[in-house]
Structure 1
Amino acid sequence: MDVMRSSVASIPRPEALIDKPAVREVIPHDPRYSARWHQHDYPSPIARWNFHPEYEIHLVTQGTGRFIVGDQVGNFTAGQLVMVGPELPHHWISDLAPGEHILGRDIVLQFLDDWIQACIQLMPELGELRSMLSHSTRGIEFLGDTATRAAALLAKIGAATGTDRLLATIGVLGVLAHAPDSERRFIANEWIPSIDDPASAEVVNRTLEYIFTNMNRDVRLSEAAGMIGMSESAFSRYFKRASGHTFSDIVRRLRIAHACKLLDSTADPISTIAHDVGYQNLSNFNRQFLAETAQTPTAYRKRESRLASDPLEHSGQT
């Protein structure tokens, strides 16, 4: 699970948490480079629910799972390329077999607004980046040829130095800025995060771990609250403030996202999939799936099968 692991005792007492806002990741600055490039494994201490003042371009190199960007939850596969704007919370959680460790799952490029705005001021040609930078506050997923070309450039940055590194960095931004509407989609609604509590991300991470570990059974707010050491009402308020989601909403969205993956990747009966994602009542599953996706599970599976056979039918725009 993509979380920092610690004992319950390591979390401050609830009364010390309730009135504090959420955590901010500190991105180390390397004076040799304008933008920070790094690749990390999964699980990893830095692969967690977080936000930061930097823009981030995030490439998944392998595996499948669920992502959370702002107020939205979805599925990812290898090759997913997302740009996350400053202060937008995000998290990628891979499907793992017991004991599995994915080497180099993520390639990440991060840079500050001050740097890119100074570049635009000195080099007016870069003004074409402004619209993309502005829209990244909702998160942008890039698709098709745009994602393929940008991923190839992104992978080269790590080994590059000097002007080659700078040119590759600007090249990635240029490819993304020129993405046609059919090869990009906005992920989340406008986001206003809470700020600066070093404990809130730990609460969110441990709660997400609990949900994923128990996805196929009855997930209870009371159990999650007890695990954290809070009353149910205090935990409910704190989790909403720290993550932007109510506990019940995040459980439902993660279950439906997992169901979408199973509908797309298996031939299992819908009743089996409903049970596998924690719904004991098929009618309730169908109702929740329709409310979340605006489609029935059967219609979703047919549509995904059709798109797989004719990718051009998928516009990628929402």
Structure 2
Amino acid sequence: MSNIIKEITPLTQNDCFTIFSRVKKEFNFPLHYHEEFELNLILNAKGAKRIVGDHIDVIDDMELVLVGPNLHHAWFTHQCQSEEITEVTIQWHKDLFDDKFLRRNQLSFIRKMFERSLKGILFTRETIQVVSPRILALNQMQGFDGVMELLSILHDLSTSRNIRTLSDISFNNDQNFNYSSRRLEKAFEYMNNNYSKDVSLRDIAKLVNMSEVSFSRFIKKRIGTTFIDSLNEIRLGHASRMLIDTTHSIAEISYNCGFNNISNFNRIFKKKKNCTPREFRENFAGTRVFV
């Protein structure tokens, strides 16, 4: 499991979702997982290999997969010989749709689909043929219309026939998709709003009325990472977005995201993402839209 990396996505707390579309000749992103839901549409990639959880399969010329939070996954070129692989990836926060909202009668199918996605879901060819034009068109939509269309697509997917669960086991330790802690929510809100500044453990501990030692133990127990790792993940998320969305230099992005020097930024970025900031920017030379 040590070769599975945690992806820090460019989504910020102010975004509903992001959609990323590109045409490429190979799959080169390593086995990874992330906190967000991901819907992946892949066309013209017959012979590529897919890994979701403990499930491995060789794919056909089109596929649509929904991956839940913290479930490791990846696609590999394998025997695919296509020169024009089309990949459209939609990612959204695991708390975009509140649990109380999903428990309404009209949303029950989506809630059940999300629960099944913790093991990965593969949709049928018939479903892909119906939904793929809408997913491709979503790339051109902005604001409220985009959010409503995403919700509509998810509803249609949740009511489609012959949904197949991929992995035999789930790798998600957070079944409710939230921290269930006002202190953690307050801490993460502060870190998200102040990531570009010097944020210390003392600041956060004081904010939530805990000692530094107590908060360190608290955050480690609740989410499995240390305070500094959590802060760095937030900073890397914003840095990833700037690498994709702006022409700022890597040094500028490093300082704008709260890293004290560029060498430290490069080291942490490569450790977390398995590539340098420059390689990341080159790899994501496609169309990415944030809504």
Q: Measured at CA, do residues 82 and 164 of structure 1 come closer, stay the same or move farther in structure 2, by a change above 3 Å?
A: same
Aligned to 1:36: 18
8 Å contact kept, 2:63–2:122: yes
Aligned to 1:174: 155
Aligned to 2:52: 69
8 Å contact kept, 2:39–2:65: yes
Aligned to 1:258: none
- Give the superposition deviation at 1:32: 6.8
Matched residue of 1:165: which SS? Answer: helix
Matched residue of 1:116: which SS? Answer: coil
Question: Separation in 1 of the partners of 2:172 and 2:153?
Answer: 27
Aligned to 2:144: 163
Any idea what the Cα deviations from partners look like across 1:141-193, whole Å, max 9, x if unmatched? Answer: 0003322222222111111112321122112101111012xx31111111337
Question: Separation in 1 of the partners of 2:4 and 2:172?
Answer: 8
Q: Measured at CA, do residues 144 and 44 of structure 1 come closer, stay the same or move farther in structure 2, by a change above 3 Å?
A: closer
Q: Measured at CA, do residues 31 and 155 of structure 1 come closer, stay the same or move farther in structure 2, by a change above 3 Å?
A: farther
What are the equivalent positions in structure 2 for 1:241-256 lying under 5 Å apart?
none
Any idea what the Cα deviations from partners look like across 1:251-310, whole Å, max 9, x if unmatched? Answer: xxxxxxxxxxxxxxxxxxxxxxxxxxxxxxxxxxxxxxxxxxxxxxxxxxxxxxxxxxxx
8 Å contact kept, 1:156–1:168: no
- Give the superposition deviation at 1:120: 2.2
Matched residue of 1:114: which SS? Answer: coil
Aligned to 2:163: 184
- Give the superposition deviation at 1:33: 4.1
Matched residue of 2:5: which SS? Answer: coil
Answering whether residue 40 of structure 2 is matched by residue 58 of structure 1, we say: yes
Aligned to 2:128: 147
Aligned to 1:252: none
- Give the superposition deviation at 1:68: 0.9
- Give the superposition deviation at 1:117: 2.0
Answering whether residue 101 of structure 2 is matched by residue 120 of structure 1, we say: yes
Q: Measured at CA, do residues 122 and 133 of structure 1 come closer, stay the same or move farther in structure 2, by a change above 3 Å?
A: closer
Question: Separation in 2 of the partners of 1:25 and 1:177?
Answer: 26
Equivalent AA in structure 2 for residue 36 of structure 1: T
> What value does the CA root-mean-square deviation take over the aligned residues?
3.1
Aligned to 2:76: 93
Question: Separation in 1 of the partners of 2:60 and 2:43?
Answer: 8
Matched residue of 1:131: which SS? Answer: helix
- Give the superposition deviation at 1:91: 1.1
Q: Measured at CA, do residues 118 and 138 of structure 1 come closer, stay the same or move farther in structure 2, by a change above 3 Å?
A: closer
Matched residue of 2:49: which SS? Answer: strand
Question: Separation in 1 of the partners of 2:136 and 2:104?
Answer: 25
Matched residue of 1:115: which SS? Answer: coil
- Give the superposition deviation at 1:121: 5.8
What are the equivalent positions in structure 2 for 1:206-245 lying under 5 Å apart?
none
Equivalent AA in structure 2 for residue 176 of structure 1: L
Any idea what the Cα deviations from partners look like across 1:194-225, whole Å, max 9, x if unmatched? Answer: 988x9xxxxxxxxxxxxxxxxxxxxxxxxxxx
Question: Separation in 1 of the partners of 2:135 and 2:125?
Answer: 15
8 Å contact kept, 1:149–1:175: no
Give me the TM-score of the superposition, normalised by structure 1. Answer: 0.48
Answering whether residue 117 of structure 2 is matched by residue 136 of structure 1, we say: yes
Question: Separation in 2 of the partners of 1:86 and 1:110?
Answer: 10
Flag the structure with larger Rg: 1
Give me the TM-score of the superposition, normalised by structure 2. Answer: 0.52
Question: Separation in 1 of the partners of 2:164 and 2:32?
Answer: 22
Answering whether residue 92 of structure 2 is matched by residue 111 of structure 1, we say: yes
Aligned to 2:6: 24
Equivalent AA in structure 2 for residue 77 of structure 1: D
Question: Separation in 2 of the partners of 1:88 and 1:70?
Answer: 6
Q: Measured at CA, do residues 102 and 119 of structure 1 come closer, stay the same or move farther in structure 2, by a change above 3 Å?
A: farther
Q: Measured at CA, do residues 140 and 69 of structure 1 come closer, stay the same or move farther in structure 2, by a change above 3 Å?
A: same
Question: Separation in 2 of the partners of 1:102 and 1:87?
Answer: 29
Number of matched pairs: 173
Q: Structure 1 stretches (4+) deviating beyond 6 angstroms?
A: 193-196
- Show structure 2 runs of 5+ residues with no match: 174-223, 230-291
Q: Measured at CA, do residues 86 and 160 of structure 1 come closer, stay the same or move farther in structure 2, by a change above 3 Å?
A: same
Question: Separation in 2 of the partners of 1:88 and 1:188?
Answer: 9
Question: Separation in 1 of the partners of 2:114 and 2:154?
Answer: 10
